[in-house]
Structure 1
């Protein structure tokens, strides 16, 4: 059994024809559980959660159209899960909860892309990495991982160590392991699963998310996993899953989690 729960339509259209390109690819790759998780910031209904100039230029969807798309897919007997990837936003727990509870999602992904007004994974902000204290940035990033887990709002945390995307990684291993330790402790006390994402292999860091040492701590603390490609185009669905499965098994995992209408079920991996 394989999952691919983290995928985006944003480079195409919210149409059944475009969605089907993704689901066809998933079926061809033998992925039994496939979901679309569009970025929440694209939707007008999230204006009260995350707002900044970069995001506001990209807010152009309505949730009514999104829900209708999935209903069309289900009516056409296309097996696809409806999800959302929400930017975890400190201080907006009530607003995030209200949005999440307003729709019948199969699961919800929470991710961290912003530290205040710093878009950590955006090319437009890449120059800022050289202007900031690296350890402070990592500390503040993992502060959010902890509070994301403590919020218990999300089924999955997306690309848990996205902060390494541009290959800015502290050389102080004790410091790094301390961040991993506190993050996994918080996650172990929550309902939140961790995704193994192959997207990092397509980024400057050229690594899977998470780091093997971080994933080992997840396994040791009993944190469930899912597999994801974070595909933004159909051809990336399920990409490099052999490497994701190899990493999962190397630290001890033999099962993954599946979701349907908020219900979770553990199934054998592979």
Structure 2
């Protein structure tokens, strides 16, 4: 069994034709459980959750159109899961829960892209890394991983150590492992699965998410996994899954979680 649960239509259109390019690519790659998880900040319905100038310029979808697209796909016998990738926003748990519970998502991804006003993975903010305290950013990032897990709002945490995207990584290994331990401990007490994401291979860091040491801690604490490509174009669906599977097995994983209508089922890793 292979999954690819983290994919985006934002560079095309919310249309059946564009969606089918993704599902066809998944089928060709032998991916049996495939989902689209558009960024929640694109939707007008999330305006009370996340507000900042960068996000506000990119809020242009209505959830009604998104939901209708999936119903159209299902009517046409296209097997695709409906999901959302939500920016975990501290202090907005009630608003996030209300949004999530308003729709019948197959699963929900929670991700951290913002540390305060700092868009950690955005090219527009890259120079900020040289101006800020690296250890402070990492500590605050993993503080959010902990509270994301404790919220128990999400089925999957996206790109768990995205904070390394531009290769700014603390040299103090003890500090780094302490952050990994905090994250794994919190996730182990939640329903949240971890994705092994191949997107990092296409980013400056040139690595899978998460770091092998972090994934090992997740395995030791029985935290389930899924595989994801974080494809923003059809050609990236299932990209480099051989490396993701190898990493999973190196960490000890032999199974993978699948989702449907909020339910979950474990299968042997393909």
TM category (shorter chain) comes to: over 0.9
* RMSD, aligned α-carbons: 0.2
Q: Give the TM-score normalised by structure 2.
A: 1.00
Measured against aligned partners, the alpha-carbon deviations of 1:44-99 in whole angstroms (never above 9, x if no partner) come to 00000001000000000000000000000000000000000000000000000000
Matches within 5 A, 1:90-169: 90-169=90-169
Give the Å deviation of 1:128.
0.3
What secondary structure does 1:73 align onto?
A: helix
Q: Which residue of 2 aligns with 1:173?
A: 173
User: Is 1:206 matched up with 2:212?
Assistant: no
Q: Which residue of 1 aligns with 2:233?
A: 233
Matches within 5 A, 1:1-270: 1-270=1-270
Q: Which runs of 5+ in 1 are unaligned?
A: none
Q: Distance in 1 between matches of 2:51 and 2:2?
A: 35
What secondary structure does 1:36 align onto?
A: strand
What secondary structure does 1:147 align onto?
A: helix
Give the Å deviation of 1:137.
0.3
Give the Å deviation of 1:119.
0.2
Measured against aligned partners, the alpha-carbon deviations of 1:237-267 in whole angstroms (never above 9, x if no partner) come to 0000000000000010000000000000010
Give the Å deviation of 1:204.
0.1
Q: Distance in 2 between matches of 1:181 and 1:259?
A: 26
Give the Å deviation of 1:224.
0.1
Q: Distance in 1 between matches of 2:45 and 2:146?
A: 26
Give the Å deviation of 1:208.
0.1
Measured against aligned partners, the alpha-carbon deviations of 1:10-62 in whole angstroms (never above 9, x if no partner) come to 00000000000000000000000000000000000000000100000000000
Q: Which runs of 5+ in 2 are unaligned?
A: none
Give the Å deviation of 1:5.
0.0
